[in-house]
Structure formats: structure tokens, C-alpha cells
Structure 1
């Protein structure tokens, strides 16, 4: 009978060691997953403990038996701290592994291992190793010293803390991790009980460390956790990282995904959108519920969802990492843009139709009015025809501006190094043909006037501002004053050495508050409206150039444009210029309630063209 018990102890110990080694091999496929490395190290220590103890039970040589016992001790003292490291990493607390206290904890098994391997030269861990066979196997008896007790108790305590962390994961993260964490929590109870009994020396067989053969139950539960469930596909560190993002209560659809594009959690809005209910078991493939590839959604930033609650959604993906910086998945937040997208398409169509038809029909109307003006003998009729021609000219000028803006609206910024003063001169050469009576002067301080920007968009800004000032010079009360005068000043930004300021100043009347209110509101209402489009275009273009536009009054209106010498700095300008118009509430805008950039003083020069 005793031989059967002894054989069972040896076979169970060997099986526990071999099983642990097999699990290390199996876990290698999950290397890099949260906690996998720590668990492999834990199982390696477990393998050393079990196999060394089994070898010791089969040898009668006391010296060999002592070294086998020493190797078994190395496995025992490392098992608890390594399991704690696994628990920290698996539950998303790997930052604690870098703390001084945890580092100090790992010095204890290191010191105990050194003492165990040098045992012939001292007796700090145990005294009087002697044979004491039980059940027909080579068991030994010795007296454990205080450092030995300390090392083993630290290992047991660390394992206990690890168990508590896993139990906490069960409580905090619900059924998703319940099977895995429960198995891993229970797996330590059997060998821990055997070690405590051996350590205390109670029972009829104090020579036998039953913690080793009981490792076999540990291995079986580990195998269930690793193979029977999806422990590393559903690590709670993904959930914990999502909790830290403070987006759990977001009203928009929110999905938490792991590194394999599987949904491990989602809020109620997302459940409704994708039809996920109690019949679905998480984790579930994102492609299965969304009908789209996650990488494509991330690259396009858009997802179309079918069904009664579906629509077009903009998609924002935020990567999640654990405290060490390792990728553990991501958050996908969806914002419905169905109405905005349809509105944008409708406005785009209307914009093209109106611009094209307006130009064609006005050209016809202007031609007929001009013919009447030339051929009519009635003075009143000629005057009326002339008024039609002038009105048509103004509307055609507006249509031309809209066309110019449309040409730059649909393209990305084309950055190059340009000289502001050259741009001003080019703009004035073009405008001078239409306004030969106006005087435009440039004042350039000794500054760096070269910018890395989009020359065409900058030209559009300056041409609209300068023309606006010229056109409204006719609204001055003193009609005897000279022709329209515009001064363009190029200076350094007073508070930013990396920026240049371009001011367009005139001597026209101060702007009415209602005019500036339209720009500030980002919308033209029935009561507050600008009478032209030039300043809107200037504002949208400055925004696209990562600049700032301000308005002031100093014996005339001053429009101040501040531009960084490198437009690309400080903002992502890979989007087309139409993004600036949209965020400012312009044609085709999706957010009419957006307040334009910076405005101050009296406001923009009065209605343009």
C-alpha cells in the first residue's frame, strides 16, 4: 500500500512538471499578450519545483538529494512573486511592477535562491538534512530556518494577492472573464494548502511536501483556462484601459475592441445600433456585427450601418495601451452624420446649379439690358437698363468669387515657400485693371516676409480684402476726398516670432455691428447678414491656412491676418480647404453654429462686392 502511495506521489509530481512544461510551450503562441510572459515564467518555476522534487524522491544519495531539494526551493520561492506579476499584468496593473516596493519584493526570492544553491556552505535556510523515508520513497526531514520561513511566506503571500486581483477581475468585469479568472484563482489553492501543511509540520507525514503532487490539479485547471477558454483573447487589461478613458457613459455608440478586432464590450447605444442582445456572447468579431473590416473603417473614418437604427457614421478610433505602453486594443466611437451628409450633398448640388445658372442667366440679362441701354431713345429707359447692367455686374462678380473659392475648396493645400510682398504685388496687378483709380501701397518692415503656405489661397485672401476696401470707399460721406486708398502692411507678429502679420487698412466708415455679428455667429440670419461673400471667403481661407483674422478700427477699418511662417505647424492640414469653410459655417457647412476664429474691434469692413 505504501508503495502505491509513494508511486502516486512521484508520478503526480512528474506529471505536474511535464504538464507545466507543456503549458509553457502552448503559451508561447500568446507571447506579447497581457500577462503571458509572466505566466510562462510562473509555470517554468512550477516545472522546476515539481521535477526537482520528483528527482529527489527517487535518489538515495544524500548529497544529490540536497541539491534536488535546493532546486525545488528555487521553484517554490519564485512561484508566488511571478504569479503576482502575472496578476498585475493580466488585470491591467503592470505599472505597479515598476514600483520600488514590488522590485524589493523580487529581491527576496533572488536572495533565497542564492542561499539554496550555496547550501553546503551554510545552514541559513535549513538544518540537519537527513533521510526519513515514507511510502517507500526518499523523503527527508530538516529544520527550516527563519530566512527560509520568510522566503516561503513571501511566496505564499504574493500568490494570495494575485488570487485576490483575479477575483477582483471577476467582480469588476462581469461574465466575460469569469471562467478564466475563476480557474486561475482556484488553481493555487491545492498546492498552497499542501505547502502550508508541510511548512507547519502537522499531520502524520511531515516529511512529504504534498504541495508538489497537488500541483497536478493546478496544471489541470491551468489547461482549462488556457485551452478550454480564451484567457488571452479576452484579457481584462483591455477593459481596464477602457475604463481609464472615461468614455463609458458616452451617448454615442462606443465599442471596446481587443488587438484581434474582436468586440469585448460595448455600450447600450452600440448594442441597439448593431442588434447585439443576450443571444450574443462576447467577444464577438467586429466584422460579424458591423459587416465591415475594422482597418478599413479606421482608414476611411466612416461606417455605414444598415437596419432600422442604421445610417452613416463618422468613426473615431483611439488606441488603448496598458501602463507599459503595450497595445491592448482600442476604442471605436461612432457619430451619426446621416443628416449632415445628405445636407452637404444637397448643398453641393444646389451650389453648382445656382452658380452655373446664375452666371448664364445673368449674362443673358446683362446683354439684353446693354442693348436696350444703347438703342433706347427714352432717357428713363436707358437709366433703368444701366441699373440692370450694374446690378448684373455685381452679381456676376459674386459668382466669380464663388467660382474662385470653389476651385480651391475641393483640393488639399499645396504648400510652398512664397514671399508675401510678391503676392501683394501680384494681387494688385490683377485688381488694378478693374480699379485703376484706386491707390494701393505696401509698407514692409525689415522682417522675414517668406512663408511656407499655399500661394493661391493666400492670394484669394488678400484680393478679397483689398477689393472689399476699394469697393466700399464710395460709401464715405465726404465724396470730395481722393480716390480709394488702401495700405497693406507686413510686419512681425508682436507676440510670436514665428508668425507674420498682414494688415489691410482703409479710410472707410466704421462697420455696423450687424455685419460683424454675422461672421461671429458663423451664419447669416434674416436680421443679421453680410451683403457679400468676400469677407466670408477671406475668413474661410485664413482658417484653412492655420491663421487668425481680426478686425479693428483706427480712422478706418483694419483687417489683420496673422499667419505662421509654416502653415503646416500646429494643425493637421491634410484636409482640403473646404474643411475650413465647413467649420466656419460656410457654403456646404455642416456646423452653422460654429463661431469663426478671432474677431475683435468694430468688425470687418462692410459688406463686400
Structure 2
């Protein structure tokens, strides 16, 4: 039987809605990791099944097959509303409710409908008196919908309505940011709601005709506009909601919220004062239009220079925002005013550079004139005084050089390489004996091939300072320092270096200052050599212990960074 023109139009519109739904499903598949996308895909899949099963059923006059296709259509309708509610919850940042026991009845109704519809011939709780009643030469059918069938359909309409209310709440709460998209999706629920209601109440001249399927064409068109035309999932209310739950407006620092497309969708009051041109009504806007740099440059720089009345230098902290299911929905960038810190660092850098430069120049000048003075003096007391001046000048020059070493250490991160204890000690021994030709440095390594990973530059600085300190403070004109290296038997292993001298005990105030980690007017070191050792060992995750046994025993322990 060939359908009439009206019947053909109904069939064409229904299939059009089904094909449109399949296209939308294909698009949404690429957005499936976004909040709410998977649930909305479920809703659209139900639409696609309904809009395919119903027109096929209209072309089938075999009763058993017509009933089967009608059952598929009925089941698809019962799933649309719950899926839409789940979408509304997840999309607006309330996905935790879906995973709670409270959502079980929502999921249970359509699942139970599947079972009852499949077994309806036994109990007839869904419909009765099913018979084909043609209209427009289509295999339309009449039947009496029973209590569970009525409930399942009303439940689907009701849950869809709640989902729409959630989207309306997003519009009210977050202004124009989601207005066009949310309005389109809310309106898209009207055609199926009207179609199901008209059919259920048997309104109109052809009550046996289910107009929901052709009306779905409008539903799919509106959804297509929302999700394809305006890219609804690129920015969603879940970002805003998660930002609110972080206490955004109560944070003392300027904060901007980015969506998954790296657009600024919200700022707090402190950020609004810092960026007076970024008016909330104009959001979303690109990061670069507000901060002056793109997000990649901002991450690389680590801080931001802002030119405004409230501006200055700001350090950046970036935090990923996730919905209750753990899916990322955006990022929160907090700005911390470090203007005074950066100015202080700059001042210290200049002061350090000037002091080291002047110390080096002035001590060189003092040493030169002291040499000239010593050559002209004949009085032993005066020669001793000149020697005292020369020694003081040498110590100042050493402090200047150690200041340079300190700067290098502070700017360096540990860079582990594989080396041997013998190689490190050989290099240090050579450097120290060149500077102190009368000294003897003995080293023993057990086993002789002891190999480990460490930052050789930092560890060499440690031993150079400790050995040089022992040589400088020795009263023996030909001082001796011994070094022993071994590896512990513990898991991963630690390398232990033991440095011995014959000197007087290292002053307690030197050691106590290191243990406290600071210097005070009553407790301070007389040089910075041990401090440089301390800072190097911090970067190496090592430690140093001090003992005295007929001489100082310094035990340096460093981890094997390969472990």
C-alpha cells in the first residue's frame, strides 16, 4: 500500500530526524570526554532508534512485526527523559548525583520498562488491545496504554523537564555565557513532549498517529544548532560550578577561570580590579586579550608583568578543575603578587655583583701594595704586620670567590651523571694540591671501582671546600688530609666519604649554625665554606656529620641517584 502525500511526509520527516540524530551522534563522539556529552549521546541514540523504528512500523502491516516495532519505539521513548536528566546533571557540574544511590530509581524505570514491554503479552501492564488501524495508508495502530505504560511515558517527560530546569538554572546563574546553547536545547524538548502528550491524550482527528517522530526533526535541528553550530561542549556550566566550589570569590588573590578551550569564563573581584577592561558581561574572552600573552607563553615564563594601577609582577599557579567524576572541565589560574620579592632579588643580585667586583679589585690592590711594603721593610714586627694584612686580603678574596660559587649553586638544579668516587677525588686532589703545594691528600676507595650517580660539580664543590678548610686551618706547615670512600649495603646504597685531619676541633658555633640552618648575632660562622657545603648537600639530598677523634672527622653521605 502506497502512503498518501501526508503519510509520505510523516515517513520522510521521521527518517530525517533519525539520520540527523546519527549525524549528531557522530559529532558528539569526538566530544564524549566532556561533561554531559556521553549522557546526551544516550538521549540522541534513543531519538535515532525511535525515529527509525516508528516509520518502519508504519510501513509494516504484519501484526506481530508491527507490535515488535511498536515495542522498540515505546522503549526508546522511555529512555529519552532519564538520559536528558543525566545530561543536565553532568553538564551543570552535578554528576556526583548520577553516581549516588538516589539516581537508581531514575535509571530503574526505563530498565524495568524494557523487561515489562518484552513480556507484555503475559501480563499486559504496558498496553492492551493492540490492533492496526490504518490512516493515510500507513499501518498506524490503536491500543490502550496501561498504568505502567502511562507512568513510563510521563516519567520520561518529567525527567526531561527537570533536565531543562537545570539548564535554565545555568542561564540564570551564569548570565549570557551559555544562553544561546541552553535555550536551544531546552526548546528541543518541546516537540517530543507535545507529541507524546497529544498521542497519550488521544487529541486530534487521527489519535492513532504518533506525531512525536516527525516532530523530532525540529528537536534534532535545535540540538544540532546548540552542539554543532555553537559548540556547546567547548564551554559548559560545570567549569563555573567547580570554580564556585573552590571558594573563588573568597580567595585573596586574583583568579581567572579557563574552560577547556583556554577561554576565560570567570574572574573574581581581585582579578576584575587587576584587569579593569575584562568586564564579566564580555566573557568568554581569550587569555591573550586579558593577560597579554597566550597560555603556553604564560606557562613557560612562570610569572606575568601587569601594567595597571593594581599591577606589578605576579607569579602563576595553575590548577586543573575536575567535575565530580574526575573529568577535567577547565583550569584555575591564581596570580600571586611577587613584585617586592622580584625587586628584592634584583637588588640582592646587583649588591652581590658589586660587592664581589669591588672585593676582588680592592683585595688585589691591597695584596699588591702589601708585597711592595714587605720588600721595603726591615723591622720583623712590621713585616709580620704586613703579612697579617696580606692574609686578611687573601681571606677577603676567598670570600669573594666563594660568593661566586654560591650564586652558581643557587641557580643550579642537580644534574646526575654516572661517575666513580676515584675520579671525583682525583680531580679535587689535583685542584687542592695545586693551591697548597706543601699539603698531602691521601684517598682510599672501597671498592676501587665504586660507581654511582650524582651531580659531580656539586659534589666536587663539597670536597674542595672541606679539604681546603682543613688545609687552611692546619698549624702544620705540611698538612695531611685523608679521605676514605665506601658504599653502604642498604637497598639502593649510599656512598659515604670520611674526611680526616689533625687540626683542632671545628668551633661548635660553626656546626651549630649549620644545624639551625640560619645565622644569628650570637651564633654565626666565620666563613661561608661550610655553608656552601651545606647548600650543595641539600641539592644532592645528602648530609654531613661532625666528630672529633685526635682530629676532625667529617662524614659526608650522599645517595646514589640511580637508585
Q: Specify the TM-score bucket, using the shorter chain as the normaliser.
A: 0.7 to 0.9
- Cα 1:92/1:437, change in 2 over 3 Å: same
1:536 has 2:531 as partner: yes
Could you say which residue in structure 2 is the equivalent of 1:294?
295
1:25 to 16, 23, 26: 23
Q: Does the Cα contact within 8 Å between 1:366 and 1:389 map onto a contact in 2?
A: yes
Q: Does the Cα contact within 8 Å between 1:257 and 1:263 map onto a contact in 2?
A: yes
2:559 to 545, 561, 564: 564
- The 5 A counterparts of 1:156-235 are 156=157, 158-159=159-160, 162-163=163-164, 165-166=166-167, 169=170, 176-177=177-178, 180-181=181-182, 183-185=184-186, 187-188=188-189, 191-192=192-193, 195=196, 198-199=199-200, 207=208, 209=210, 211-212=212-213, 215=216, 218-219=219-220, 222=223, 225-226=226-227, 231-235=232-236
Give the Cα–Cα distance (whole angstroms) in 2 for the partners of residues 79 and 444 of structure 1: 76
Q: Does the Cα contact within 8 Å between 1:519 and 1:536 map onto a contact in 2?
A: no
The SS at the match of 2:468 is helix
Shift in Å at residue 325 of structure 1?
A: 5.7
- Cα 1:448/1:336, change in 2 over 3 Å: farther
- Cα 1:131/1:251, change in 2 over 3 Å: same
Q: Does the Cα contact within 8 Å between 1:491 and 1:500 map onto a contact in 2?
A: yes
Bigger Cα displacement from structure 2, 535-544 vs 197-206: 197-206
2:507 to 511, 535, 539: 511
Could you say which residue in structure 2 is the equivalent of 1:583?
none
Could you say which residue in structure 2 is the equivalent of 1:141?
142
Give the Cα–Cα distance (whole angstroms) in 2 for the partners of residues 191 and 9 of structure 1: 19
Q: What is the TM-score of this pair, normalised by structure 2?
A: 0.79
Q: Does the Cα contact within 8 Å between 1:12 and 1:216 map onto a contact in 2?
A: no
Q: Does the Cα contact within 8 Å between 1:27 and 1:36 map onto a contact in 2?
A: no
Shift in Å at residue 201 of structure 1?
A: 6.9
- The 5 A counterparts of 1:63-462 are 65-92=66-93, 109=110, 125-132=126-133, 139-144=140-145, 148=149, 152=153, 155-156=156-157, 158-159=159-160, 162-163=163-164, 165-166=166-167, 169=170, 176-177=177-178, 180-181=181-182, 183-185=184-186, 187-188=188-189, 191-192=192-193, 195=196, 198-199=199-200, 207=208, 209=210, 211-212=212-213, 215=216, 218-219=219-220, 222=223, 225-226=226-227, 231-242=232-243, 249-278=250-279, 280-322=281-323, 326-406=327-407, 413-435=414-436, 449-462=450-463
- Aligned Cα RMSD in Å? 4.5
Q: Does the Cα contact within 8 Å between 2:46 and 2:77 map onto a contact in 1?
A: yes
In the alignment, structure 1 segments of 5+ residues that lack a partner are 1-5, 475-480, 570-609
Bigger Cα displacement from structure 2, 107-116 vs 420-429: 107-116
Bigger Cα displacement from structure 2, 460-469 vs 310-319: 310-319
Q: Does the Cα contact within 8 Å between 1:21 and 1:43 map onto a contact in 2?
A: no
- Cα 1:482/1:386, change in 2 over 3 Å: closer
What's the CA shift string for 1:477-506, capped at 9, x where partnerless?
xxxx99867564545569764433434456
Bigger Cα displacement from structure 2, 385-394 vs 191-200: 191-200
- Cα 1:332/1:9, change in 2 over 3 Å: farther
Q: What is the TM-score of this pair, normalised by structure 1?
A: 0.74
Shift in Å at residue 566 of structure 1?
A: 0.9
Equivalent pairs, count: 555
- Cα 1:460/1:278, change in 2 over 3 Å: closer
The SS at the match of 1:509 is coil
Shift in Å at residue 290 of structure 1?
A: 1.5
Q: Does the Cα contact within 8 Å between 2:514 and 2:531 map onto a contact in 1?
A: no
Give the Cα–Cα distance (whole angstroms) in 1 for the partners of residues 553 and 6 of structure 2: 96
Q: Does the Cα contact within 8 Å between 2:235 and 2:261 map onto a contact in 1?
A: no
- Cα 1:17/1:103, change in 2 over 3 Å: farther
Give the Cα–Cα distance (whole angstroms) in 2 for the partners of residues 11 and 159 of structure 1: 27
Bigger Cα displacement from structure 2, 205-214 vs 425-434: 205-214
More helix by share: 2
Bigger Cα displacement from structure 2, 400-409 vs 201-210: 201-210
What's the CA shift string for 1:507-557, capped at 9, x where partnerless?
6435344873477455x5656543212122212222232x13345455576
Give the Cα–Cα distance (whole angstroms) in 2 for the partners of residues 169 and 494 of structure 1: 63
Q: Does the Cα contact within 8 Å between 1:62 and 1:130 map onto a contact in 2?
A: yes
Q: Does the Cα contact within 8 Å between 1:17 and 1:46 map onto a contact in 2?
A: no
What's the CA shift string for 1:552-600, capped at 9, x where partnerless?
4555766554322117x7xxxxxxxxxxxxxxxxxxxxxxxxxxxxxxx
In the alignment, structure 2 segments of 5+ residues that lack a partner are none
Give the Cα–Cα distance (whole angstroms) in 2 for the partners of residues 548 and 169 of structure 1: 55
Shift in Å at residue 181 of structure 1?
A: 3.9
What's the CA shift string for 1:429-458, capped at 9, x where partnerless?
432454566665657666994221121221
Give the Cα–Cα distance (whole angstroms) in 1 for the partners of residues 79 and 468 of structure 2: 80
The SS at the match of 1:418 is strand
The SS at the match of 2:232 is coil
The SS at the match of 1:263 is strand
Shift in Å at residue 291 of structure 1?
A: 1.7
The SS at the match of 1:417 is strand
Shift in Å at residue 366 of structure 1?
A: 0.7
Could you say which residue in structure 2 is the equivalent of 1:548?
542
- The 5 A counterparts of 1:34-45 are 34-45=35-46
The SS at the match of 1:377 is coil
